[in-house]
Every structure is written in C-alpha cells, then in structure tokens.
Amino acid sequence: MDLSQAYASMNGDLANTISLLIVALAGLILVVFDAFNNRHSATPWIAGLALFAGFLFELTRIGSAEGLVYYDMMRVGGSAAFVNVLILGSGFLSVILSAPYLKRIGHNIGEAYAMILFATVGMLVLGAANNLVTVFVGLETMSVCLYILTGFIRSGSGSTESAFKYFLLGAFSTGFFLYGIALLYGATGTMDISAMHATVTDGGSIIFWAGVAMLLVGFLFKVSAAPFHMWTPDVYQGAPTTITGFMSTASKTAAFASLILILNVALPAERWSGVLAIFAVITMVLGNVIAISQSNIKRMLAYSSIAHAGYILVGLASGTDEGYAGALFYLMVYTIMNIGAFGVIALLEWDNKEGSEQTLDSLAGIGYKKPLLGWTMAVFMFSLAGFPPLGGFLGKWAVFAPAVDAGLIWLAIIGVLTSAVSAYYYLRVLVVFFMKTEDAQSGAHETEFSVPKSSAAVLILCVVLLFFFGVTTYAIELTGSFF
C-alpha cells in the first residue's frame, strides 16, 4: 500500500467521515467532563446532540455516490450512509430513553453515555468497513463497549452475570473470527474486501472456504443467529433495558451491513446461499418456538430478536441485490419496532432488577392504566408479528419476495409459517395488557408513575414511522418502483 499521498488525501477523508469524528470526539469530551461533573444533567444532552448531528450529516449523503476513504479502508455515502443513519438514529433514540430510565434506577453515570458513543463509533466503522482489518477493529470496539454497558450496574448480580457470559462467549467467537481473517488472507493475499473475489480461482481453495466458515461463525454470533445465539437471552434479560434496545438494533445493523458487503462483493454466491438458508431455518424456528414458553418479557423479546435475524438471513440467502436491499429495509423497520418495544418495557419496570425477574403477567391490565404505553406497545407487537399496513409487514415482504424470485420458495414458506407462530406470543402481550385483570403480582400498579415527555415523544415517533414506512412503501410497491 502506497502511503506517499496519505496527508494529501487526509482532509478529504476527514470531511467524508465527520459523523464518525463528531461521535468519537463527544465520547472523549464526556469522559473528561464527567470526571469533574459527575452525574451532570448536561451529559445525556452532549451525547444526544453528537448523535443527532452525525445523523443529520449522514442523512444528507444517502443519495450520494458511494466512495472509499482512508486508502479504501472504509466506504462513505450511498448504502454506507444509510447504515450509518440507522446506527446513529438508534443511538440517539436510545440516549433519549436512557436519560430518565438511568436516573430512575440511580445509575445516570456519565460513563454509560460515553460507552454508548464509543460503541456507536465501533458500529460506524464496522458497518462501513471495506477491509477485514477495519471490520475487526470496528467489531471489537463495539463489542468491548457493549460488554461494559451490559454489566455497568455492578450492584445487580444479573447484570454482572450477563456481562461475564457475553464477554466469555464473545471472546470465543472473536478467536474464530480472527482465525478466519488469517486463513482468508493466506488464501487470497489481500485484506481488501473489494479485491478478494478477483483472487478466488476455481471456486476457491479449502483454506479459503475454511476462512469463510470461521468468519461466518463470528458474524452469526454477533447477529444472534442460531446455533450461536446462546448469549442473547441472558444478556438481554440482565442488561439495562434501554441498553438492551440499543444493543439489539444498532449492533445487529452494523454486523449485518458488514456481512452483506462481504457476501455481495467477496464471495461467490452459489457456494454460500444454501448454507445461509439452513441457518435461516434453524434461527427462525428456534427463536419463535422457544419465545412461546417465555414468561419474562425481555427474554421473550430476546428470542424474538433471534427469529428476526433468521428473517434477515432469508433475504441474504437469495444472493441478489433485491435480497440485500430488502435486508437493509428490514433492519430499518426492525430498529424502529425494537427501540419502541424496549422503551415501553423500560417504563413499566418495577422489580428494581432491570426487569430481569419481572414476569409478563405482572403487567396485567396496565394498558388501561397507561393507555399511551398500552396502545404504542400494541402497534409494536402487531408490527413485529407482520400485520399490515405497518412497516413490519413490508419488511417481511422485502426479504421473502427475493427468496421466492431466487427459487427458494420453501424457505419463504417456512418464514411465513414461523412468522404466523410469532403472532401467538406477540398477541399474548396485548392480552395481558388489556384483557387480564390485576392480581397480587402486579407490581407496576402499586405506585403511580408518569411517562417522561421525552420518552413519550420517542414512542409516538416510532409509531408514526411504522405507519409511514408501511403505507408509503406499499404505495411505492403498487407503482412498480420498489426493489
């Protein structure tokens, strides 16, 4: 790699990654600021404004041509900007929800917001990576911050245990990921994702495909795909609820975006499509079936998250541009649905253990006592189940239709059937909220609490976006200009 013009191109590269620089700089500022102003009310404002500024910058670049910066190490503009918008938007909404939530549980410490910003930096690098080294740097930056965020409530054994499990299994998957990178470099002689496919001859060597297999293990772990999902229920249950929402959306978006690039650019589609289809089936079936038996709503949403990873894999298994575009659209809708759902659950916590021991039945009748939370949760549950005209329905259409076009009709049928199964446990939430009467366990009813205006605004925004993307995307589909 010729670095003779590194300084000449530096200004242009920095200008193209302003959002990354803003978030990283804000994270450093928060660390110093919190050292002298512990638990200051301005801390979440600094984090939120940095994320929102990055969001606006990337929003203006979605329609621009895709380019490469930092000596082809990262992509900017186009689809990379779209992924960055999802990550930054998820982080921004999570900070808004976290501010009153962390204050209520007595852990509104500045380090939490700094870790959210640093995790976002890792996600931005991972989602825009064009080199396996950059992929690894982004992946580990994100992962280390998420380990800390999972266990930063040290007074709770559940949070600490979840963080420890996440760390151990994450370190194990990182070993596979690194070994896969080493094998791919040995087989192709390059770390550049764009140049990798050109070096593959005669379908690829055994070393090459062994590297691909190990790389996939690392990615499937990060997106919670079965059978690499073991960490997900425990981590989602033990982590602070608003952090769980951030973790389940932004990190999944970044990991899937990186995986899509590698599948689309570096690997021959005819060799891996069947493998992803098998993983998609296992993930959809396992996630939905086990979610039915869950009494804790955070564990139920964890298995739901696993199932949704399977739906996205259906789109990727098609191996077409339509499938990749559908997967990105699904990630956008999924981010909105899950941020909203975890936002509602965070407001309804009463067990003083981040909801880790709180059962769904303890929220019986809460939909009438808190109608805003009840009816917004209804929209999120219907959308997660795939009911029209909400965005969740169009999201599933966007990943199932390319699979049908690619000849994977059996895979789309399994996806539809498992989605029908999911309606049972999603609608069960609404049955408890609106059709069950309060009982002695209903701790959420024991004390009056108000819904913060900022949290209410986020929930309403998510509902509006689900209707907007559902209705407008359906209208575009009717005109024949969608995908």
Whether 170 is in a domain gets the answer no
Q: Is residue 476 part of a domain?
A: yes
pLDDT above 90 for 194? no
What's the angle, vertex CA 15, arms to CA 13 and CA 16, rounded to 5?
65
Q: What is the dihedral of CA 102, 103, 106, 110, to 10 degrees?
A: 70
pLDDT at residue 475, as a whole number = 56
Q: Centre a 10 Å sphere on the Cβ of residue 86 and count the other Cβ atoms it contains.
A: 25
Residue 414 has pLDDT above 50, yes or no: yes
Give the separation between CA 12 and CA 433, rounded to whole angstroms.
53
Q: Is the pLDDT of residue 225 over 60?
A: yes
The SS3 call for residue 63 is coil
Do the domain assignments include residue 447?
yes
Check pLDDT > 90 for residue 335.
yes
Out of 160-164, 259-263, 394-398, least confident range: 160-164
State the chain's mean pLDDT as an integer: 87
Total domains in the fold of the chain:
1
- Asked if pLDDT for residue 483 goes beyond 60, the answer is no
pTM of the predicted structure, to 2 decimals: 0.92
Q: Return the structure tokens found at 224.
A: 């919670």
At 312 the pLDDT is 95
Q: Which of 41-50, 141-150, 202-211 has the lowest mean pLDDT?
A: 202-211
Lowest mean pLDDT among 13-27, 45-59, 262-276: 262-276
pLDDT of residue 117: 96
Amino acid making up residue 437: T
In a domain, 27, yes or no: no
Domain-located, residue 64: no
Give a yes or no: residue 19 inside a domain: no
Q: Is residue 363 part of a domain?
A: yes
Domain that holds residue 345: 270-483
DSSP string, 105-141: TT---HHHHHHHHHHHHHHHHHHHB-BHHHHHHHHHH
Task: Identify whether the C-beta of residue 176 lies closer than 8 Å to the C-beta of residue 217.
Answer: yes
Confirm whether 345 is domain-assigned: yes
Q: What is the pLDDT of residue 482?
A: 38
Q: How far is CA 202 from CA 102, 137, 199, 205, in A?
A: 55, 31, 10, 8
**pLDDT tens track for 279-327:** 999 999 999 999 999 988 999 999 999 999 999 999 999 988 899 999 9
Q: What is the CA radius of gyration of the chain?
A: 22
Among the residue ranges 148-152, 286-290, 358-362, 465-469, the one predicted with the least confidence is: 358-362
